[in-house]
Amino acid sequence: MRDDVTSPFDEAHAGADAGVNAGAGAAGRNPVARRQSVLCALVADVLKVSDVGADDGFVALGGDSIIAMQLVSRARKAGLRITVGDVLAHRDIAALAESATEVHREPAPVADSGVGPVATTPITRWFQERGGGVDTYHQLAVLRTPLGLTQAHLHAMTQVLLDHHDVLRLRLSVPEGGDGGDGGQEWALDVLPTGAIDAASALRRIDVAGLPDADVAALVRRESDAARDRLRPREGKVFQAVWFDAGPDRQGLLALVVHHLAVDSISWRVLAADLATAWRAVDAGTVIALEPVPTSFRRWSRLLGEQAHAPAAVAELPYWLAELRPGAARFGDLPRVPGQDLESRDRRFTESLPAEFTRELLTSVPAAFNAGVNDVLLAALALALGDWHRARGTAGDGTSLLHLEGHGRESALADVDLSRTVGWFTSLFPVRLDPGELDWAEVRAAGPAVGSAVKRIKEQLRAVPDKGVRYGLLRYLNPDTGAPLAQAAQPEFVFNYLGRFEASDTADWSLVPEYGTGLDGTGPGMPMAHSIEVNAATVDRADGPVLDATWSWADSVVSEADTRELARTWFSMLRTLVAHAREPGAGGLTPSDLTLSSLSQHELEEIESELRAARGRGL
């Protein structure tokens, strides 16, 4: 990993310039070779690795869909057009370069004002339906601040941030009695004009010079809660920042508290990178100039509304109703009563998987199965849930019905660039995971049953139409399809993988992982939406990547002991996947890897077995 990184969220833009320069240096080569050179440089930059070659694979190097979005954006600036699907599907950069097309000029800009009324999105409607307190639903990130930063500097930087990103001036209108989750009159959103929010009202300074680290940590938590309580989305106050000034000779901390209506995990990468860019300008005595935002959140919300009644969306209804059929494994003997269990820090814990296992889960395991990181994490979770429910007699039909959270910025709905857009894009959709009939002794021994389960889950996830992004349109923005989906069985378990974050003990504007990686915070009175909730993220630390998973539970349905046992079982299954992938012959393709093939999984494995045997005979 590089030690000169200026942002913890991998959004520095040096990679685009590096890619262009690499391409220029390859001017004498053929076009594919030039594209390979550019893409190798860009992949090395976004993944913070060196010596990337054309035979290396993006996923095998530790890439995921969120980082793929950054790669797509930087490639476009370097004159290459690729999609996130291209990045994740091709096994190496050589194949990705073959699929890339060259863009010789930027498309004409679209008239796109982010100011004014904003259509409510599916996740906003989900939030309204959830009920409970509205004002304090937020996310938090804590960053290290550089030596030499002053209150005046930070005020100027914060004002630019508020003026540049429209959604940081978002205002919520809630009808009388409309925040109780009763399905009443719809909320309304609008973005205030540039300059409407004064940075002075959004920024506070706390002097912590000379205080020991433990006292600073306590202050950060207390003042972050106070900042949360100052959020007033109905007044357009969705952003608060608290600077813990440690003096001129010591790095400080900046706590950013943003209402969830205005931020998600990808947004944090944009905001942190922009703060780093702004600081470089301030430090150099130049004018702050942030990179433009190609697509406003307002425009995206309008596109979602237009798509909700489109034939392609409505055609997915039978699929989603089949996923939501009854019979899946159940949690507890009694159903969860909505509103009975409230979010609480007392019912939350975090487990960490060491780097020695996480590193392989991000690289060699997905590469072995030509899968994504999410496929691997969810295959292990399906195994863990199956084992956990089997021991309790709650396995139902052997399947697990989950809600998955996705980043929501899917190109399937519209070909727009959302890599620089701040806002709450999250998609929430159901999946039904079925690992199949299993020999559990073979699973625990990391035998072939593990590989079979991974392949089954991978195929089930690939069968989800357009990564689930249209489910929310049907459920919340189309009354004709929303009614039957609301009446179907609902998941009681939600899983969210937030992607990969970089942390550092010293780098300016780096994430301080002790305070989390932008996880949701609700404040008092927010009802739990599920019986068990899992938010996982990979944090790149000095000794390597570590998978952190935060679990919370509704104690009217499941106990802390049962939740902790499930968490341990999941990590055990992840270690089992790593052990299985190390075995000779582990992994292999699945039918969805062969676009034009009608081969079954069994037929495909027979062919692979014959090929391995032929290689063993030297043929």
pLDDT of residue 588: 92
User: What pLDDT score was predicted for residue 105?
Assistant: 62
Cα Rg, the chain, nearest whole Å: 24
Give me the residues paired with residue 342 across strands: 527
**130 vs 410: CA distance, rounded Å:** 24
* C-alpha to C-alpha distances, 299 to 107, 117, 313, nearest whole angstrom: 17, 10, 19
**Residue 436 reports pLDDT greater than 90:** yes
- pLDDT tens digits, 164-181: 999 999 999 987 665 555
The CA–CA distances, whole Å, from 73 to 36, 81, 427 equal: 16, 9, 21
pLDDT tens-digit series, residues 476-512: 999 999 999 999 999 999 999 998 888 777 899 988 9
User: Which band of pLDDT confidence, cut at 50, 70 and 90, is reported for residue 9?
Assistant: very low
Query: Is residue 126 within 8 Å of residue 430, measured between CB atoms?
Result: no
Q: Which of these ranges, 9-13, 38-42, 236-240, 422-426, has the smallest mean pLDDT?
A: 9-13
Structure-token pair, residue 490? 């609902």
Spell out the SS3 assignment of 426-465: CEEEEEEECCCCCCHHHHHCCCHHHHHHHHHHHHHHHCCH
Contacts of 513 (CB under 8 A, 6+ apart): 501, 503, 539, 541, 548
* CA 588/CA 454 separation, integer angstroms: 10
Q: Which two tokens stand for residue 526?
A: 């927010």
* pLDDT at 516 (0 to 100): 75
State how far the alpha carbon of 469 is from the alpha carbons of 89, 122, 473, in Å: 19, 10, 8
pLDDT in tens, 373-408: 999 999 999 999 999 999 999 999 999 999 999 999
- The per-residue pLDDT for 8 is 36
Distance between CA atoms of residues 202 and 220, nearest Å: 16
Please state, in angstroms and rounded to a whole number, the distance separating the CA atoms of residues 548 and 535.
Answer: 8
Q: Which residue has the tokens 């309008």?
A: 302
The domain defined by 116-297 folds into Chloramphenicol Acetyltransferase (3.30.559)
Between the alpha carbon of residue 77 and those of residues 71, 103, 289, 555, the distances in Å are 10, 9, 17, 50
CA–CA dist 362, 374 (Å, integer): 9
CA distance linking residue 227 with residue 222, whole number of Å: 9
Q: How many Å apart are CA 291 and CA 107, to the nearest integer?
A: 17
pLDDT of residue 338: 81
Rounded Cα distance, 314 and 232, in Å: 37
* pLDDT bucket at 77, cuts 50 / 70 / 90: confident
Q: pLDDT value at position 59?
A: 84
pLDDT at 337: 84
Lowest mean pLDDT among 100-109, 205-214, 325-334: 100-109
DSSP 252-295: EEEEEEEEGGG--HHHHHHHHHHHHHHHHHHHHT----PPP-SS
> What's the chain's average pLDDT?
88
| SS3 state of residue 325 | coil
pLDDT, position 602: 66
Q: What does CATH list as the number for 14-102?
A: 1.10.1200.10
Pick the CATH number of 347-409+423-504+530-585 from 3.30.930.10, 3.30.559.30, 3.40.640.10, 3.40.190.10: 3.30.559.30
> Over the stretch 190-211, which tens digit does the pLDDT of each residue have?
999 999 999 999 999 999 999 9
Tell me the percentage of the chain whose pLDDT exceeds 90. 66
Which residues is 255 bridged to in the sheet?
Answer: 142, 242
